[in-house]
Structure 1
Amino acid sequence: MAKGIDPQESLAALFGCRVRKLRTAAGLTQAELGRMTHVVSTRITQIERASGARPSQELAQALDAALVADDLLVDLWPYVYREAFPDWVQAFMALSARATAIRQYLAHVVPGLLQTEPYARALLSVGRTLKSEEQLEERLSARMARQTRLRGADRPELWVILDEAVLRRPVGGPDVMRDQLARLLATAEEPHITVQVLPFAHGEHGVLGGSLTVLDLPDGTETAYTEGAHYGQLIEDPEEVGRFAVTYDLLRAAALPPHMSLDMIRSAMEDNHHDATVVSRSDRRRLAQKQLQQSGRGRLRRGGGRTPRSRPRP
Structure 2
Amino acid sequence: MASDQQDPDALRVYFSEELRRTRQRAKLSQSQLANALGCTPQWICQLEKTDKTVSEQTALDLDTYFKTDGWDQDDGHFHRIHTAIRRAGRLRVLRPGFKTYLEYEPKAIGLRCFAAQIVPGLLQTEEYAHAMMDPSDPKDTLDARVASRLDRQGLFTRDKPAMTAFVLDESVLRRPVGGGEVMANQIDHLISMSRLMHVQVLIMPFEQVTPEALSGGLILLTFPREPELLYIESGNIGHLIGEPDDVFMAGVYFNRMMGEALNQAESIEFMRQAREAYS
In 1, Cα distance between the equivalents of 2:225 and 2:200? 23
Between 1:207-216 and 1:222-231, the stretch displaced more is 222-231
Cα distance in structure 2, aligned partners of 1:19 and 1:67? 18
Q: How far did 1:142 drift? A: 1.9
Show CA shifts across 1:137-190 (max 9, x none): 221222222223322224322211100111111111111111110111111121
1:108 to 117, 126, 134: 117
Partner of 1:161 in structure 2? 167
Task: Please tell me whether residue 85 in structure 1 is matched to residue 94 in structure 2.
Answer: yes
CA RMSD of aligned residues (A): 3.6
Which whole-Å CA distance do the structure 2 matches of 1:226 and 1:55 have between them? 34
Q: Which residue of 1 aligns with 2:4?
A: 9
Unpaired stretches in structure 1, ≥5 consecutive residues: 1-5, 275-314
210, 214, 224: which one pairs with 2:216?
210
- Report how far residue 135 of structure 1 moved: 1.4
Q: In structure 2, do the counterparts of structure 1 residues 52 and 19 end up closer, same or farther at CA, with 3 Å as the change threshold?
A: closer
Provide structure 2 residue ranges, at least 5 long, that are not aligned to the other structure: 64-69
Higher normalized helix content (fraction of residues): 2
Name the aligned partner's letter for residue 257 of structure 2: L
- Map 1:100-139 onto structure 2 (within 5 A): 100-125=109-134, 131-139=137-145
The aligned residue for residue 197 of structure 1 is 203
Post-superposition shift, 1:262? 0.6
**Structure 1 residues 238, 55: closer, same or farther in 2, change over 3 A?**
farther
> CA shift at 1:21, angstroms?
5.9
Change (3 A) 1:42 1:132: farther
Say which SS state the counterpart of residue 208 (structure 1) adopts: helix
- Structure 1 residues 45 and 199, CA, compared in 2 at 3 Å: closer, same or farther? farther
Instruction: Provide the residue aligned with 2:269 in structure 1.
Output: 263
Q: In structure 1, how many angstroms separate the alpha carbons of the residues matched to 2:110 and 2:86?
A: 20
Deviation at 1:112, TM superposition (A): 0.8
Cα displacement string for residues 102-121 of structure 1 (whole angstroms, at most 9, x for unaligned residues): 11100111111111111111
Evaluate the alpha carbon distance shift between residue 266 and residue 97 of structure 1 in structure 2; reply closer, same or farther with a 3 A threshold. same
Paired residue secondary structure (2:132): helix
Output aligned runs, 1:216-235, within 5 Å: 216-228=222-234, 230-235=236-241
Residue 90 of structure 1 aligns to a residue whose secondary structure is helix
Q: Secondary structure at the match of 1:220?
A: coil
1:243 aligns with 2:249: yes
- 2:159 alignment partner AA: A
Greater relative contact order, per chain length (Cα 8 Å cut-off, separation 6+): 2
Q: Which residue of 2 aligns with 1:273?
A: 278
Report the TM-score when normalising by structure 1: 0.68
Of the two, which has the highest radius of gyration? 1
Q: Which residue of 1 aligns with 2:76?
A: 68
Q: Tell me the distance in 2 between the aligned counterparts of 1:158 and 1:42.
A: 48
Q: 1:61–1:73: 8 Å Cα contact kept in structure 2?
A: no
Q: 1:8 to 1:43 in 2, by over 3 A?
A: farther
Structure 1 letter corresponding to 2:131: A
Kindly provide the CA deviation profile for residues 59-86 of structure 1, in whole angstroms up to 9, marking residues without a partner as x: 88997744536x9669857852224324
> Would you say the 8 A contact 1:102–1:157 is kept in 2?
yes
Q: Which residue of 2 aligns with 1:306?
A: none
Q: How many residue pairs were aligned?
A: 257
TM-score by length of 2: 0.75
Query: Deviations along 1:198-231, whole A, 9 cap, x unmatched?
Result: 1111113214152110011243311101124533
